[in-house]
Amino acid sequence: MSDTKNLTLLGAGKTDYPTEYSAKVLETFKNKFPENNYEVELNCPEFTHICPKTKQPDFAKIKIKYCPDELLVESKSLKLYLFGFRQHGSFHEDCVNTIAKDLFNLMKPKWIEVLGLFMPRGGISINPRAYIKKDNK
């Protein structure tokens, strides 16, 4: 039997897209194999956020990898969470670290890595990577 009682977004008829960033939209479901060490990779090729200084949009690919423990993130809730950054003013490094911390706090995975592959601005691309593991304090 699947534990999907707490998934309110998956299969919902109408999707309300967030206009502001909030980690509260994220949902989880139980990992059926918590004893296994395996990797989950999630890719968001169309991530956008707003530069806090220029108010111009920045574009990136966000790659999330983690080794689940008891919980996994539900992908539709992740999509809506990432969509919430669209009007959020943050620097590239802030976005990547915020995503890593929010997901780590939500799922408590064995480890998580979030990589942001941002499009160049002024001839320079910035690709921050955040890594958190359970024994990091």
Which residue in the list 44, 58, 95, 102 is annotated as catalytic? 58
In a domain, 7, yes or no: no
In a domain, 19, yes or no: no
In a domain, 55, yes or no: yes
The C-alpha torsion from 71 through 76 and 77 to 81, rounded to 10°, is 130
In a domain, 5, yes or no: no
Q: Quick check: helix, strand or coil at residue 117?
A: strand
Question: Cα separation of 117 and 92, whole Å?
Answer: 9
In a domain, 115, yes or no: yes
In a domain, 29, yes or no: no
CATH number, domain containing residue 53: 3.30.1130.10
pLDDT in tens, the chain (137 residues): 346 556 665 655 667 777 788 999 999 999 999 999 999 999 999 999 999 999 999 999 999 999 999 999 999 999 999 999 998 899 999 999 999 999 999 999 999 999 999 999 889 999 999 999 988 65
In this prediction, residue 2 carries a pLDDT of 46
In a domain, 80, yes or no: yes
What is the distance of C-alpha 121 from the center of its chain? 23
In this prediction, residue 33 carries a pLDDT of 97
Which residue in the list 3, 16, 44, 51 is annotated as catalytic? 51
Q: Which helix (H) or strand (E) holds 96?
A: helix 92-107
| Catalytic status, residue 102 | no
Going by C-beta distance under 8 Å and a sequence separation of 6 or more, which residues neighbour residue 128? 92, 93, 96, 97, 115, 116
Tell me the one-letter amino acid at 73.
V
Tell me the one-letter amino acid at 27.
E
| Catalytic status, residue 67 | no
**pTM for this prediction:** 0.87
Residue pair 45/118 in contact (Cβ under 8 Å)? The answer is: no
Long-range pairs for 8-13: beta carbons < 8 A, 24 or more residues apart: 9/74, 9/76, 9/77, 9/80, 10/74, 10/76, 10/77
In a domain, 23, yes or no: no
